[in-house]
Amino acid sequence: MTLLRGGLALPRMGLGCMNLSHAYGIPPSEEDGLAVLRAALDDGVTHLDTATLYGGGRNEELVGRALQGRRDEVLLASKGGMEMVDGVKVIDGRPATLRVQVDASLSRLGVDHIDLYYLHRWDKSVPITESVGALASLVDAGKIGAIGLSEVSVKTLHAAQEAAPIAAVQNEYSLWSRNPELGMLEATRAAGIALVAFSPVARGFLSDSVGDPAALAPKDIRRAMPRFSSDNWPANEALLPAWRALAAEAGCTPAQLALAWLLSRGEHVVPIPGTTSIDHLREDFAALSLSVDVGLLERAGDLIDTDTVSGPRYAPGPASEVDAETFEDPA
């Protein structure tokens, strides 16, 4: 367990629920999505992560259905400040908007309290202290338990801490996305803040499940990501044979090795893999009990890293929406 500010205990791994409703091609049916969530609960998964954005609210509704009669079994995390409006993603961190969105999340989830609530993106037109101050008032009102930030820089984290305690930062972190190593990994460790790692298996790349990006569903978000483009994919795909061999040497699957590497980065690092498969769910969480040689983990870090991976995380448009440090412009 990772102890958050305020005494909130966060399990070492959580389930990212996004792809049950959003982003990666055609989501499963509601009943199949519920089956995954209920299997997770039955297997002892105690941290679920959702958001206002995912599926235009449908993901929170799905999670809420799964939690009926079982709310006390989980640490429930959601996010606001980014939502779908008439089919368009809108980032809005104004206090009034956040208050409305928290109430809407509570309603969709069917709960009276969300344990951990993130500002999904910093709205750069609103001072971070104003957005975080609004969330602090919702902590005081008992609607949320702790405040998190997502895709932020160390500078923004420090500014936010002037307004209220921050319990968690959720940034992308995996072998092929090392941006937290530009300062956030150490800043969160030093402050006693959880670093929640989304996309810990590199959007399927490190689980060796992508195949041909050209065959992805038309609305799959990876189609617009540079690392899956025809310019970069061949170089990235060329890393996979050695990656598979390294996982075989470790006696685990490629996804498990990716998660074991992340878990080794610090007790405060909390991966939240997502899946639409019960088998893959169990495969991912089995990584918690793996014992992988330190030397092999170091070799994994040398094989897949910023120098060996081709292409940036995001195309210019999406990149402009995030605040986290980048290797393209570390300053």
pTM of the predicted model, to two decimals? 0.96
What pLDDT sits at residue 314?
96
Q: What length does the chain have?
A: 331
**pLDDT score, position 194:** 96
Phi, psi of 189 (to 5 degrees): -60, -45
Q: What's the first-to-final CA gap in the chain, in angstroms?
A: 33
Domain boundaries of the chain, sorted by first residue? 2-210+255-291
Q: Which amino acid is at 234?
A: P
pLDDT at 18: 97
In DSSP terms, 194 is beta-bridged to: 168
Q: pLDDT tens per residue, the chain (331 residues)?
A: 665 555 678 999 999 999 999 899 899 999 999 999 999 999 999 999 999 999 999 999 999 999 999 999 999 999 999 999 998 999 999 999 999 999 999 999 999 999 999 999 999 999 999 999 999 999 999 999 999 999 999 999 999 999 999 999 999 999 999 999 999 999 999 999 999 999 999 999 999 999 999 999 999 999 999 999 999 999 999 999 999 999 999 999 999 999 999 999 999 999 999 999 999 999 999 999 999 999 999 999 999 999 999 999 999 999 999 999 998 654 3
Q: Is 54 a catalytic residue?
A: yes
4 residue type, one letter = L
The pLDDT assigned to 78 comes to 98
Where are the alpha helices (H) located in 76-153, listed in sequence order?
95-109, 128-140
Cα separation of 17 and 1, whole Å? 20
Q: 196: closest CA among 175, 172, 164, 177?
A: 172
pLDDT number for residue 330: 40
| pLDDT (0 to 100) of residue 22 | 86
| CATH number of the domain located at residue range(s) 2-210+255-291 in this protein | 3.20.20.100
Residue 6 pLDDT: 54
pLDDT score recorded for residue 25: 85
Q: What is the DSSP letter of 174?
A: B
Q: Which of 24, 54, 117, 314 is catalytic?
A: 54
